[in-house]
Structure 1
């Protein structure tokens, strides 16, 4: 077997703010804290099979579009209803040069990190 990705680390200025946002968006919980860093993941915990997200404090400003972003799919509602939920949670629309004809929405979290809400619903 080769290596697996077990966690993604997102540098941010306010780990508490982003932990709250991403926990609400993904249905995650706080799994642990180490210094200023916060690890969030599925309620079942970090079993090594599902990715966790580590929000790591940095003072470096975000510069430009992220070279890596999350693609999200709703699990229990259509895209428009999920868009409303994400906007109410603190997401905002982001412009990364899309044409406006895409089947997905480009959004940003409270610190401006881009992510996409895709159309398909997944279980």
Structure 2
């Protein structure tokens, strides 16, 4: 028996703002809200326990934006990398420098709170096979 990732939790100053951003980036919807202000988002129609992990945006008085020890990589599903980059920048992402050389075939970006993530070049199917 093995484990699989079911949730990723991101401490943040503004869960509402990041939930809206990541819902647009990933095509996710809001699944749940906790009394502590946490917002869980995930794939529509599947949610927690489905083939893709959900994302929990957890309020914190001490979020640590920047180059996280764990970061999110995203891949375009229905357009090329340049078109997806333009879409992400329009949503509020911005270029980030974490020491890349400029020769990479991916883009390092930051979400609205400054958390680094990467846009990969390779397109993937919108929904993983069951």
Q: TM-score, normalised by structure 1?
A: 0.95
**Alignment: residue pair count:** 123
Structural mapping, 1:1-123, within 5 Å: 1-35=1-35, 36-49=37-50, 50-62=52-64, 64-123=66-125
Distance 2:8 2:54 in 1: 6
Residues 31 and 45 in structure 1, CA contact (< 8 A), matched pair in contact too: no
Residues 109 and 119 in structure 2, CA contact (< 8 A), matched pair in contact too: yes
Distance 2:63 2:27 in 1: 27
Residues 16 and 39 in structure 2, CA contact (< 8 A), matched pair in contact too: yes
Residues 29-55 of structure 1: CA deviation (Å, up to 9, x unaligned): 000000200000000132513210000
Secondary structure of the 2:120 match is strand
Secondary structure of the 1:85 match is helix
Deviation at 1:27, TM superposition (A): 0.2
The structure with the greater share of residues assigned to strand is 1
